[in-house]
Structure 1
Amino acid sequence: MESGEIVEYIDDQKIICTVVMEGGNQRLRLLTEHNREVKVAAQRLSHRGSMRLDMSAGRNRLVDSLRELSIKRSAIADEIEIEALWEVLNQEQTWIDLDTMTGLCFPTAEDDDHQSGVIRALFKSRRYFRFKPDRFLPHTEEQVAAIIDIERKAARRNRLIDAGAAWIQSVKSGSTAQPPACHRELAEKFKSFYLFDKESPDYDAARTIMKRADLTSSEAIFNHLVAVGVWTPDENVDLLRYKIPTDFSQPVLEWAQSVPAATAGTFKDSSRVDLTHLTTITIDGQSTLDFDDALSIETRDDHFLVGIHISDVAEHIKKGDLLDREARSRGSSIYMPDNRISMAPPLLAENRLSLKKDHLRPAISTMVKISLTGDILSYDIFPSIIRVDHQLSYFEANVSAEEGEAIGTLYNIATRFREKRLGQGAIQITLPEINIWLDESGIPVVNRVNRESPGRMLIAEMMILSNWLSARFLAENNTPAIFRSQPKPKDRILKNGTGSLFQNWMQRKLLNRFVLRSGPDHHCGLGLDAYVTATSPIRKYFDLVTQRQLRAVLGLETAYTEKEIEDIIGQLAQPMADVGRIQFRRNRYWLLKHLEGRIGGKEEAIVLQRRRNAYSILLKAYMIECPLPQSSGIHLKPEDLVQVTIQHVNARNNTLSVFMG
């Protein structure tokens, strides 16, 4: 190829007209119509004709000539009616060379300019022909229809991108103009992008909109959705991210409505034991609306008879029915400072299934015969009918433990049972609970709860006792269930159930995860040979399944098979992990919102461990970990007490920073 030849190549989806300045076998040095010198491989050329330019004319004259030639060839391309050409040629599914195509388009002119015009026209619009610089293949009618559909979608996408960028810029500027007609669709795309990032099908479109609107972070998308009223400033995005339903479908609600309330005649001819003569109590938090469990105690001549009564949810929610399928899909109720999402519709969870005061309820009762010295002598599990007499809060139970005989006795029994577990190697981790709720103004309120108060401690131990006995009962009857076990900890810090706040916190980090399986095994953390959870069937599907296994042994229904139990464990692994993650994050979010109002405040903290560039510390008042930057000249060791100042908090970004103060 020689100097002066006019050639064209494709760059960035454009055809560039050039003149050869220096030829070669592999790469050519070209001067382009844009007055740039480039090196291009010969195989990249889209057109090579016989036209030449006088290289002695000077660079500016050469560039002007190339520009004029490019304009002329583009005008020739515009003369070609590609659709009409395709209608003539599409029946012949064969490649058509450049000379033939040029002759078809321009019968009286087949020079370089017209050849380039054909290439330009068919390169610009590839709706009707498959393009190669020297030949072209007509698309079939089906292919053309598919391409038109793709083009239509691309054009619509571009309109959405333009509208989205304009909408964001308008909102940022404070304009009160009406949102675009497609604002709902745009909002859904923004939500999907914010929630799922690169996994969102709208990721590329949203990123393009952000770039056009000069947004640099996904938080700007969140702020836009808040500004236009799609989300609130405290939107719980995890519920959306994990696709957690916050309400129930109409068929589920109608089914729940059809569940009859218990009356005096409901269980008249049943095999249930009537325990309505017992004085039964519930002990829960003040905001509790669903009551799973109740207690009773009778003092006999030489022993106590303790009753642990669990609402018989399986009496109303039958295996495989619509309510059961709904509960199984949710896995658990979700409790957050600003919201409560029940596993079952509230009509059931808070009423017909709940052990409410003065209402008859079916229950699964565990009656435990305990010696006056606290030894468990025997137990019996059976279906019953109960009526709760007293509904107490933890505070009321704490007062009763000091003044009332029944709760005081239950507390003593619970204490002895715990001592027995500790003697069997249980690890009792004692940490305060940080309770967060929102006041009437939506402001987070933080309260530090003593989990070892008499009311909380006795309920915890009575539920552990009930679950242990249920596990033994199922194992003795060779019935599979969702048994919970736990291997030994990685290391043991606590001895005999005592220890400092630091030791309890670090011991928790050393625990191994619990294991779920269909058969019993040792639970090291509780110091028990077998364990299930069956005391919260209103709130947890695992507990409902185990309750059904108890009912099966009692002759009330057919048991799940071992395979069915293993399948349920596997199916609920991810939903239960999501529930735990959502509850943890939402509690942390509102705790950080509270701390946003404490910036500049001083807090006492415990040094946990030293990391590479900082210490990990625990803010005692809030039981929350955060890093403490190392200060020159100050050396700390684990369990040191320090005073820190809160420097920065951002609940939405999950950030908390402090400095030594």
Structure 2
Amino acid sequence: MELKETIKNIVNDKKYKPMSFKQFAYLLDIRDNAEKDFLREVLRQLEQNSFLISYENKYYKANGGSLISGLLQITSGGFGFVLVDNADDIFISSENLSGALNGDEVLVQIIKEIKPHFEGRIVKIVKNNNKNLLGTFYKTKRGGYINADNKGITKDVYISEKSAKDAQSKDRVVFEIIKKISAEKLEGRVLYILGAADKKGVDIKGVVINNDIKYKFDEDVIKQAEGIKADIDLQDKSRVNLIGRNIFTIDALTAKDMDDAVSIEIKDDNYVLGVHIADVSYYVKKNTPLDKEAYERGNSTYFPDYAIPMLPHSLSGDICSLRAEQPRLAVSAVMTIDKTGNVLEYEIFKSIIKSKKKMTYTGVQTVLDDVMYEDDDYKNFKKEILLMDELSDILNRRREKRGSIDFDMPEAEAIVDDEGNPILIKKSERLKSHKIIEEFMLLANETVAEHIFWLNYPCIYRVHDNPEAEKMADLKEVLLSMGYKINPANMHPKKISELLSSIKDKPEEDLLKNIVLRSMQRAVYHNKNTGHFGIAAKYYTHFTSPIRRYSDLIVHRILAEILAGNTEQYLYSDEELAEISRHISKTERISVKAEREVMRIKMAKYLSDKIGTQYKAVISHITSNGFFVELENLIEGFVPFSYLDDYYVSDLKRYLFYNERSGKTYKLGEVVSVKLKEVNIIDGKCIFVFSSKEEKINEDISV
């Protein structure tokens, strides 16, 4: 057996404990210098291949051994999480950051399990993130200092006059650390000035930079994109010409990157549903500047008043977008479906389409509600819209029957003015028209996934593993505390679905859905199809959004190879797909984090002039030092025990807290009256306290 394989077997043994070079040499009976040099080289190679990690003269197994590597993301609360490939995030308290900064690549040692996360201690910074740090600049006679947003930097950073550029007091700036003057004193340099905190776009740019999301396109990418023309050969024999078909898009009013269109008709008493997706892969070829840029970004990122596209606007908002009355290249999945929702047959092919109309969700809803149409054109599509409504109900019942979980949770929506200031925070509206398109996209994704799977062609899948037994046991206890029961043994999605049905339209519905969702595994991309627990699907991928998701672009390229008959030599190896899956799963998580941070900032800004106002709220989470509340419009805030007039103690095992003097108990899900005490817009934090009964509750809050 080769030395490398021997070492792997030793390290993979469950009884393995981190060993030094000398211990390896002794165990392997390596004595002379030449053999020792060879051993060092093999160990070095195993480090390079990310199998081993060297720390304090001992070799640890990477990801799964005593030390775990990952990317540190520090929250506004000062604590952090280490993002690990294909595993839950690891909680890091502020005391265990060990000087690491947001965005650092780190090694973590697991120290205990704090449900629902493991807790760790950072033991080594593998790669520093000393650049593109964010903070607020304050001017002094000799330059100034920066109060860093990064909670890993606990002291103000000194900035010399030369390094301050033209920053003014209270400007938001991007800076780098250039010198460690002492153990507690850092010197930095302003890289560029974002501007005053209340200037339009500064809040979003700060979050984008803090999360290392690229928002500018390189010149070679722009140049390639601008060189692409929308010239379409209507006589192209390799495509099916569907320009005469009644095809249309349904999207938000402001949508520009329209990558899906639909068509529907009845044939032989069956539904014929067409899902037509922009053929982005025709324009964005593998290993080109555009492709490399799309891979790096992984996906588009959306904020209330700003979007960071995966592809330049000339593609995402024009050439690839399925704009009305303009011929566009597409990949079509046309499915024949019976009255019970079974797909009897399907075709997947390259096509040329022309959307007959850009419909909106609200416009389609007016047809469904039989009220005044958004415009007269909708009358021409009434037959198709009613057929879609009919079919979506059938597909939804079929999914429910097999156990698909319908979380369908409301999300907060920020309405902003021209300067990006929030003028309203409300629950987003979920219309039946949204659900129609959602059902059709789910079916198309399943159909494409199964098609590729049975061809045994390497691909990327969207997978959602079964929930962990321990998390289900925890969920059981939470539910019991709120008066609900669930048997965590042999968990099937149908059990979760039945639970959610039992709480429908109850006051605690949204809270419980959130709790159940947090008990699930995270859906990720993977090169192996293991099914999707949440929608109870054996085969699932992402096919329907190639303008804004790199995963879908990969799937389209693979379909193109299959349709062209190129099945002997694979476009991507399993190893390449595994690496792409890891990368885009990570970029997705970072985008979601950034989107939530911006929403919290908008929420804090919205409440900033409402200090002292009383609200009705639900207790959404309890910690050892306070509890979180959620207002009716989904704004979340924290109530620290230290801010309250009396002494409160939490009982985390029973999901409650109580007043030690009076014995008054508060449980998860309970409705309480709270008063806004303070707001930190930069951190997106809202602090509340209990309000007195005499004060009037603010009813003027959108729900």
TM-score by length of 1: 0.66
Q: Name 2:306's counterpart in structure 1.
A: 339
Q: Name 1:639's counterpart in structure 2.
A: 669
* CA distance in structure 1 between the aligned counterparts of 2:638 and 2:459, rounded to whole angstroms: 40
Deviation at 1:658, TM superposition (A): 1.1
* CA distance in structure 2 between the aligned counterparts of 1:164 and 1:598, rounded to whole angstroms: 33
Q: Name 2:281's counterpart in structure 1.
A: 314
* CA distance in structure 2 between the aligned counterparts of 1:335 and 1:228, rounded to whole angstroms: 21
Q: Name 1:415's counterpart in structure 2.
A: 393
The one of the two structures with greater contact order (alpha-carbon pairs below 8 A, sep at least 6) is 2
Q: Name 2:514's counterpart in structure 1.
A: 505
For residue 293 of structure 1, the aligned residue among 243, 257, 260 is: 260
1:182 and 2:162 correspond: yes
For residue 648 of structure 1, the aligned residue among 678, 682, 685 is: 678
Q: Name 2:245's counterpart in structure 1.
A: 278
Q: Name 1:240's counterpart in structure 2.
A: 209
* CA distance in structure 2 between the aligned counterparts of 1:368 and 1:333, rounded to whole angstroms: 29
Q: Name 1:454's counterpart in structure 2.
A: 432
1:435 and 2:404 correspond: no
Q: How does 1:522-533 map to 2 (within 5 A)?
A: 522-533=531-542
SS in 2 for 1:271: coil
- In structure 2, do the counterparts of structure 1 residues 313 and 471 end up closer, same or farther at CA, with 3 Å as the change threshold? same
Q: How does 1:216-255 map to 2 (within 5 A)?
A: 226=195, 234=203, 236-255=205-224
Asked if the contact 1:343/1:538 (under 8 Å) is kept, the reply is: yes
SS in 2 for 1:168: strand
1:480 and 2:492 correspond: no
Asked if the contact 1:236/1:586 (under 8 Å) is kept, the reply is: no
Q: Name 1:599's counterpart in structure 2.
A: 611
SS in 1 for 2:203: coil
SS in 1 for 2:666: coil
* CA distance in structure 2 between the aligned counterparts of 1:467 and 1:228, rounded to whole angstroms: 42
- In structure 2, do the counterparts of structure 1 residues 486 and 575 end up closer, same or farther at CA, with 3 Å as the change threshold? closer
Deviation at 1:409, TM superposition (A): 2.2
For residue 320 of structure 2, the aligned residue among 353, 356, 361 is: 353
1:388 and 2:348 correspond: no
Q: Name 1:621's counterpart in structure 2.
A: 633
Deviation at 1:202, TM superposition (A): 4.2
- Could you tell me which amino acid in structure 2 is paired with residue 358 of structure 1? E
Q: Which string of whole-angstrom CA distances, capped at 9 and with x for unpartnered residues, describes residues 4-26 of structure 1?
A: xxxxxxxxxxxxxxxxxxxxxxx
Deviation at 1:461, TM superposition (A): 1.4
- In structure 2, do the counterparts of structure 1 residues 205 and 538 end up closer, same or farther at CA, with 3 Å as the change threshold? farther
Asked if the contact 1:605/1:617 (under 8 Å) is kept, the reply is: yes
- In structure 2, do the counterparts of structure 1 residues 236 and 290 end up closer, same or farther at CA, with 3 Å as the change threshold? same
* CA distance in structure 2 between the aligned counterparts of 1:232 and 1:322, rounded to whole angstroms: 28
- Could you tell me which amino acid in structure 2 is paired with residue 635 of structure 1? T
1:534 and 2:511 correspond: no
The runs of 5 or more residues in structure 1 that have no matched partner are: 1-162, 170-178, 211-217
- In structure 2, do the counterparts of structure 1 residues 502 and 577 end up closer, same or farther at CA, with 3 Å as the change threshold? closer
The runs of 5 or more residues in structure 2 that have no matched partner are: 1-138, 146-158, 371-381, 476-485, 487-495, 504-508, 642-647, 649-657, 692-703
* CA distance in structure 1 between the aligned counterparts of 2:195 and 2:270, rounded to whole angstroms: 63
- In structure 2, do the counterparts of structure 1 residues 240 and 615 end up closer, same or farther at CA, with 3 Å as the change threshold? closer
Q: How does 1:57-456 map to 2 (within 5 A)?
A: 166-168=142-144, 182=162, 200-202=177-179, 204=181, 226=195, 234=203, 236-263=205-232, 266-403=233-370, 404-450=382-428, 452-456=430-434
SS in 2 for 1:525: coil
Deviation at 1:366, TM superposition (A): 0.8
Deviation at 1:165, TM superposition (A): 5.1
Q: Name 2:572's counterpart in structure 1.
A: 560
Deviation at 1:356, TM superposition (A): 0.4
Asked if the contact 2:241/2:352 (under 8 Å) is kept, the reply is: yes
Deviates most, 552-561 or 363-372:
552-561
TM-score by length of 2: 0.62
- In structure 2, do the counterparts of structure 1 residues 231 and 282 end up closer, same or farther at CA, with 3 Å as the change threshold? closer
SS in 1 for 2:667: coil
Q: Name 2:155's counterpart in structure 1.
A: none
- In structure 2, do the counterparts of structure 1 residues 191 and 530 end up closer, same or farther at CA, with 3 Å as the change threshold? farther
- In structure 2, do the counterparts of structure 1 residues 408 and 651 end up closer, same or farther at CA, with 3 Å as the change threshold? farther
- Could you tell me which amino acid in structure 2 is paired with residue 504 of structure 1? K
Asked if the contact 1:282/1:388 (under 8 Å) is kept, the reply is: yes
- In structure 2, do the counterparts of structure 1 residues 285 and 381 end up closer, same or farther at CA, with 3 Å as the change threshold? same
- In structure 2, do the counterparts of structure 1 residues 626 and 467 end up closer, same or farther at CA, with 3 Å as the change threshold? farther
* CA distance in structure 2 between the aligned counterparts of 1:225 and 1:335, rounded to whole angstroms: 20
* CA distance in structure 1 between the aligned counterparts of 2:359 and 2:269, rounded to whole angstroms: 28
Deviates most, 411-420 or 300-309:
411-420
Asked if the contact 2:203/2:601 (under 8 Å) is kept, the reply is: no
SS in 1 for 2:352: strand
Asked if the contact 1:402/1:408 (under 8 Å) is kept, the reply is: no
SS in 2 for 1:366: strand
* C-alpha RMSD of the superposition: 3.5
Deviation at 1:639, TM superposition (A): 2.3
Deviation at 1:464, TM superposition (A): 1.0
Deviation at 1:640, TM superposition (A): 1.9
Q: Which has the higher strand share?
A: 2
* CA distance in structure 2 between the aligned counterparts of 1:589 and 1:370, rounded to whole angstroms: 46
Tell which structure's C-alpha radius of gyration is larger. Answer: 1
Deviation at 1:623, TM superposition (A): 4.9
- Could you tell me which amino acid in structure 2 is paired with residue 330 of structure 1? R
Deviation at 1:556, TM superposition (A): 7.4
Deviation at 1:646, TM superposition (A): 1.7
* CA distance in structure 2 between the aligned counterparts of 1:290 and 1:419, rounded to whole angstroms: 30
Asked if the contact 1:609/1:637 (under 8 Å) is kept, the reply is: no
* CA distance in structure 2 between the aligned counterparts of 1:352 and 1:318, rounded to whole angstroms: 15
- In structure 2, do the counterparts of structure 1 residues 224 and 323 end up closer, same or farther at CA, with 3 Å as the change threshold? closer
Deviation at 1:180, TM superposition (A): 9.3
Asked if the contact 2:637/2:685 (under 8 Å) is kept, the reply is: no
For residue 576 of structure 1, the aligned residue among 544, 565, 588 is: 588
Number of aligned residue pairs: give it.
Answer: 477
Q: Which has the higher helix share?
A: 1
- In structure 2, do the counterparts of structure 1 residues 322 and 232 end up closer, same or farther at CA, with 3 Å as the change threshold? closer
Asked if the contact 1:484/1:523 (under 8 Å) is kept, the reply is: yes
Asked if the contact 2:173/2:194 (under 8 Å) is kept, the reply is: no
* CA distance in structure 2 between the aligned counterparts of 1:562 and 1:222, rounded to whole angstroms: 41
Deviation at 1:392, TM superposition (A): 1.4
Deviation at 1:227, TM superposition (A): 6.0
Asked if the contact 1:602/1:643 (under 8 Å) is kept, the reply is: yes
Asked if the contact 1:480/1:562 (under 8 Å) is kept, the reply is: yes
Deviation at 1:463, TM superposition (A): 1.1
- In structure 2, do the counterparts of structure 1 residues 639 and 262 end up closer, same or farther at CA, with 3 Å as the change threshold? same
Q: Which string of whole-angstrom CA distances, capped at 9 and with x for unpartnered residues, describes residues 365-414 of structure 1?
A: 11111123433222211111111111112111211223433223212322
- Could you tell me which amino acid in structure 1 is paired with residue 144 of structure 2? I
- In structure 2, do the counterparts of structure 1 residues 434 and 258 end up closer, same or farther at CA, with 3 Å as the change threshold? same
Q: Which string of whole-angstrom CA distances, capped at 9 and with x for unpartnered residues, describes residues 240-283 of structure 1?
A: 234433222332222111112133xx141331111112111211
Q: Name 1:109's counterpart in structure 2.
A: none
